[in-house]
Every structure is written in structure tokens, then in C-alpha cells.
Amino acid sequence: MAAQIIDGKAVAQRLRGEIKTKVADLVAHIGVAPHLVVVLASDDPASAVYVRNKGKAAEEVGIRSTQHTLPANTEKAALLELIQKLNADPDVDGILVQLPVPKQHDTEALIRALDPAKDVDGLHPLNAGLLSRGDESGLIPCTPKGCIKLIESAGVDLAGKHAVVLGRSRLVGRPVADLLLNRNATVTTCHSRTKDLAQEVGRADVLIAAIGKEELVKGSWVKFGATVIDVGINRNPAGKLTGDVAFPGAAERAAAITPVPGGVGPMTIACLLENTLIAATRRRVMR
């Protein structure tokens, strides 16, 4: 029996529709639209495309979007100064520093410099710390948040399920494990030192692959009836985008699976918009 394909584009579109309605309600209440500022300090073409897509998506739901583009050779002090300026600007609700940044910058210092209330990527230690304590009142990282929404869209109740997370990055692996624990899943996190990865994957009722290696997970590893969320985006020598999971074989065994592209990616942007709305509402209405 073929797996249910979890359509990230469709789920994201529904979420964006809900956000658009809530943004309109907020504007009617306070007279001003939420304002997202994206900082790009890189000459990486892919980053430029991501930033442009985020800005376009924001405008489509009624969120104001401003982009600050800095040369790749911008000094650390100048970038930190810009962040502090945006922190202090009452007109700015959300700040996103597009990662990765050039090597002369200290990524951790940039993240720590953000006002946690405007940190729509959810990476500031305060937001991360709240989540690690089981408290989701902070801003939650966008991709992990999107993963959970996709699992829920497939009708999966995580309570009591054995979830296996491949990867332990602060962008995806660690926060998604926290979100799974908060929903009463039993969670195993695998990484580069894990022994017998195939065996660990084979035990997963829910598998989230976020390790960044093309088709590392073979279809034969996947448990029959599992839900598979593939976060990986890799470009093979032929130029085709592939995930961390070998899709054809996995789709023969899984009950539900996300495609690449068209799975997690659209949800990441939708959750960024949701975080911007949340940040704006808290700053302008709930304070």
C-alpha cells in the first residue's frame, strides 16, 4: 500500500490563509501591519533567493517586509550595530538574520544579540532554553514547528510513539526533539557517532531526518507504517533536489511521508510568518 504523501505546500497554504486573516484583524485593531526585517550579510546566491522568497511571502499575508543587504565583507561590529538598532526600533516586530553568515562573523554572538521577543527564528538562548524546559511560550524555530504541524496534518497522535530524530543541530534536531517530548513521544536522537543507524531508524514510528546527506536513509530501513518527515535538501550531481531519505523505497513502507521538494520547505516559511504575527501581537497588544 502506497504511503500518504504529506503535501507541505497545501498545509502551508492553509496556514498562510489563517495568518492572513489574523494579520488583517490585527491591523484593524492597532492600525499598523506587523513588520519583519530580514538581514542579509552575504553574497551567497541561494541566501539571496531565500530572503527574497521570505519577503514575498510576508507581503502576501499583509506583513510588511524590509530587507537590509550588507556586503559579505561587512565587519562584525557593523552587523552587531545594525541588530541593536533594529532591537531598539519600536516599528520592528521581527528580526531574522539569514544564515549562514560569512566566516568573519560569530554566529552565536549575532544570535545572542537579538532581542528574544523579536527573534522570529527562535534561536536565541532564551527561546531555546524555554523550549528545552518544556515551555513553548517563546518563539519556536520555524522548521521544527513546521515538522510538528505536518505530522499533525497526517492525523498522527504522537503520544506514546517512538520518534527517531536524525541530527542534533540547534536549527532542527534539538528543538524538534523537544517538541516531540512535549507531545509525549519517546524520543531517540541519532547523530554522527550513533552505532547501527539502520537499526535505530527501523524502530521509529515517526522518523525526522535532518542530517543533510543525500538519501542516507535507505527505504529498507524504514519501519512499516511509519511517518517520515524529510527535512534534508540536497542537490545531486544531476541537479535534482533530493532529501535525506531514499523516497521511492521509503514510500513503499511508510504510512505517510513528505516529498522533497514540497514537504518541509514551504512550512518553514509559513511558520516564519506565524512567528512574526505572534511577536507583533505580543509586543503591540498583549504588553
Q: How many C-beta atoms surround the C-beta of residue 42 within 10 A?
A: 21
Phi, psi of 252 (to 5 degrees): -75, -20
* Contact between 150 and 8 (Cβ < 8 Å): yes
Environment class of 37 (CB within 10 Å of its CB; exposed 0-12, middle 13-18, buried 19+): buried
Select which of 121, 178, 205, 244 is catalytic. 121
Q: Which member of 54, 118, 149, 161 is catalytic?
A: 54
Q: Indicate which residue of 93, 98, 118, 119 is catalytic.
A: 98
C-alpha cell at 238: 544531476
Q: Answer whether 244's CB lies under 8 Å from 274's CB.
A: no
**What is the distance between the alpha carbons of residues 184 and 173, in angstroms, rounded to a whole number?**
17
Q: Which grid coordinates belong to 261? A: 521538494
Residue 54 annotated to the active site: yes
d(CA 126, CA 75): 26
Q: Which residues are catalytic?
A: 54, 98, 121
